[in-house]
Amino acid sequence: MKKIAVSLLLAITFFLEPIRIWGQFEKESELSSRILYETQVEQTQEEQAQEGQSQEEVQDASDAPVQTEAPSVILLEISTGKVLYEKNSQEQRSPASITKIMTLLLIFEELEKGNLTMEEEVTTSAYAKSMGGSQVFLEEGEKQTVETMIKCIVVASGNDASVAMAEHIAGSESEFVKKMNEKANQLGMVHTHFEDCCGLTDSTNHYTSAGDVAIMSRELIGRFPQILEYSSIWMENITHVTAQGTKEFCLTNTNKLVRSYEGCVGLKTGSTSTAKYCVSAAAKRGDIMLLAVVMGAPDHKVRFKDAAAMLNYGFGICNLYVDEDPETPEPAKIGRGVKEEVSCEYKETFRYLDTEGSNLDQVEKRTEYTENLQAPIKKGDVVGKTIYTLDGKEIGTVELVSTEDVRKANFLDYLKKAAKHFGFVK
């Protein structure tokens, strides 16, 4: 009987074991399938997210108002300084010969101070003659006027002319470069450091950004617009007079936009193996002058194409309001002075750049004087402001400044006023 029971138990166990194993297999298979499914879902979601991100990036690029290939660019309107478009404009990059914009700015400042004249002669040193890269082939001891040197720098990008001018102004290129860096600091060019005056060096310590190039370009054009008379020259001959004799040399503008883009009036190009191809291009149409800076373009065609694309965009959207001939403001009332009012004027011309297609004929203005103005008042003191509005929104202000001095009244002045008031004196 025991044998029969044991045999029966073994048979049942033999029969049920495959079922248990199969059930376990099904559970494991179901678990594996679920894990595989969840993994596939996660991967699909990741791929979709990545694809969506890529599509978003592409969409963002296509939504950009200007399509540019160069890695770093900026577009602004010069008179107002309003930035219209930028891409990586604060990125530090090697500037090549657009370095010379700062060199030119310092030259014109020396002219403004009276430390230079356009007719003054500059002698080329052996060191200046030794400059490679772009040059106008000045000989050691050769003399050229400051005006000719400016043309050599801005038109033909002459490294030799740049160094000759730096030495003439500061005694040495290194001393001149100190002045360049000081000026950059004054202008707030926080992404800039110069090592030479022409951009020939490829030192990692010689750098600037598209935004900083725009700052110094705007400063040069705004303060010394005569630079555009030189930067817009397409071709012009200079004369070399040396011990070897006299010969003509043709300066040809490195900025091809001067000839190919309507309204282009400069400003400066640059290229080295490190900097690639750069340009700071100014163009004027009507009352609007734009500046397009391109840095790091892969070739010369791209730098000009990108600059032209930005300029086209800018001219297409810009409308400038200029209060060119405002009425003389009423005098400002003052107290405790020898006079009861002081004449005033606008501190500057008001300009407003619209890019939204607004009707600028609807610009309105009102004047507000500083309350409780008290003598003494000095010429140039702020005595009020004129507020400009468009469609009910303030778009800017211009300060009103005194055009004269008004001293504080003393006892005798009050006595005279009283005498006049009572008719004792006329």
- Tell me the residue type at 208: T
pLDDT at residue 29, rounded to an integer: 40
CA 265, CA 263: separation in Å to the nearest integer? Answer: 6
Closest CA to 82 of 395, 325, 303: 395
Residue range 342-360, pLDDT digits in tens:
999 999 999 999 999 999 9
CA 34, CA 23: separation in Å to the nearest integer? Answer: 16
CA 129, CA 152: separation in Å to the nearest integer? Answer: 13
Instruction: Pinpoint the alpha helices (H) of 224-267.
Output: 227-231, 257-260
Of 100, 183, 256, 276, which one is the catalytic site residue? 100
pLDDT at residue 128, rounded to an integer: 97
Length of the chain: 426
For residues 303 and 132, which has the higher predicted lDDT (pLDDT)? 303
Q: Give the pLDDT band of residue 183 (cuts 50, 70, 90).
A: very high
Give the chain's radius of gyration (CA, Å). 36
Tokens 């990692």, residue located:
204
Arithmetic mean of pLDDT, 176-188: 98
For residues 33 and 235, which has the higher predicted lDDT (pLDDT)? 235
* Catalytic residue flag (residue 157): yes
Q: How far is CA 346 from the centre of its chain?
A: 27
Arithmetic mean of pLDDT, 155-183: 98
Contact 267, 243 (CB under 8 A): no
Residue range 8-46, pLDDT digits in tens:
444 444 344 444 433 443 344 443 434 333 434 344 344
Q: 2-11, 183-192, 293-302, 315-324: lowest mean pLDDT where? A: 2-11
Of 72, 89, 94, 97, which one is the catalytic site residue? 97
CA 367, CA 342: separation in Å to the nearest integer? Answer: 15
Please give the structure tokens belonging to residue 97: 């010969």
CA 358, CA 144: separation in Å to the nearest integer? Answer: 51
Of 79, 89, 157, 162, which one is the catalytic site residue? 157
Please give the structure tokens belonging to residue 371: 């309350």
* Catalytic residue flag (residue 209): no
pLDDT at residue 415, rounded to an integer: 72
Residue range 76-134, pLDDT digits in tens:
999 999 999 999 999 999 999 999 999 999 999 999 999 999 999 999 999 999 998 99
Q: 11-20, 235-244, 309-318: lowest mean pLDDT where? A: 11-20
pLDDT at residue 410, rounded to an integer: 84
Q: HSE, CB side, 13 Å, CA atoms: give it for residue 413.
A: 10
Contact 289, 282 (CB under 8 A): yes
* Catalytic residue flag (residue 62): no
